[in-house]
Amino acid sequence: MAPAFRRVIPAIAAIGLVTGCSQQYNDERGKGDAPVQGRSGDNTPAEVFNMPDGFGNLATKCVGHGFRAYVTTNGGGPSNLEIVPDSSCAD
């Protein structure tokens, strides 16, 4: 293999990797984050409960005023989301 060709292949792979991981790529396919008005969302961390392999993990945090969100993860299917009233989340 020619030395120039050896440099071209990694460069093409890097460009493909960066392009495939871009926000625009995910947004166009409906997999990106939803826009946040004023770009100032609540970025506080969620409390995460790790479950054994094969079971969805659980994350929870206060959202809005007086509500708590619970979200599960599932590598093989859709996540579950539940938002419930929670007085401990009141400001």
Domain ranges, ordered by start, for the chain: 1-38, 42-91
Q: State pTM to two decimals.
A: 0.56
Radius of gyration of the chain from Cα atoms? 20
DSSP 62: E
Return the pLDDT at 90: 85
Q: For residues 74 and 4, what is the distance between their CA atoms, to the nearest angstrom?
A: 44
Q: Report residues of the chain scoring pLDDT below 70.
A: 1-5, 11, 13-23, 30-31, 33, 36, 39-41, 75
Task: Count the neighbouring beta carbons within 10 Å of the beta carbon of residue 39.
Answer: 6
